[in-house]
Amino acid sequence: MTKEILGIKPINIPKETIQKKEESSLAKKDGSFEQLLNQAQKIKFSAHALSRIAGRKVELSEEQLNNLNKAVEKAETKGAKESLILLNDLALVVSVKNKTVITALAKEKIKEGVFTNIDSAVIV
């Protein structure tokens, strides 16, 4: 059941993409290697990034998530560690090593933003 809280509509990001600080995919010993490999290939969202996306009422489609995963893979092949990924009207700062979205900015905030601590940019 979807509820609005303070006028903010929840976004549809699968729960398994949310990374919790106390939980590491490699620390799970009950899963098979294939499950760990599949999990390692999917992008995760930090709690901060999720709150930014929800606050801007942005919804990511399955296609956009796939494009985001491909962009992270491209950055990884080039040796990137922290990357700015421009995806449609959204700017995402991603830890390529951890495959985790650290923060997100909507279109109207991109022009005001200065991005620091990144070593690459991927335009999708």
* Residue 86 is assigned to a structural domain of this protein: yes
* Residue 36 is assigned to a structural domain of this protein: no
Spatial distance between the Cα atoms of 89 and 79, rounded to a whole number of angstroms = 25
Spatial distance between the Cα atoms of 103 and 118, rounded to a whole number of angstroms = 12
| Residues of the domain holding 87 | 44-123
* Residue 27 is assigned to a structural domain of this protein: no
* Residue 17 is assigned to a structural domain of this protein: no
| CA 61 to chain CA centroid, nearest Å | 13
* Residue 87 is assigned to a structural domain of this protein: yes
Decide: pTM greater than 0.85. Answer: no
Residue with tokens 């799970």: 28
Spatial distance between the Cα atoms of 91 and 107, rounded to a whole number of angstroms = 7
* Residue 2 is assigned to a structural domain of this protein: no
Q: What is the pLDDT of residue 30?
A: 52
- The one-digit pLDDT tens for each residue of the chain (124 residues) are 445 555 555 566 666 656 555 444 444 455 555 555 455 558 899 999 999 888 888 888 888 889 999 999 999 999 999 999 999 888 999 999 999 999 998 877 887 778 889 999 999 9
* Residue 93 is assigned to a structural domain of this protein: yes
How many domains, the chain?
Answer: 1
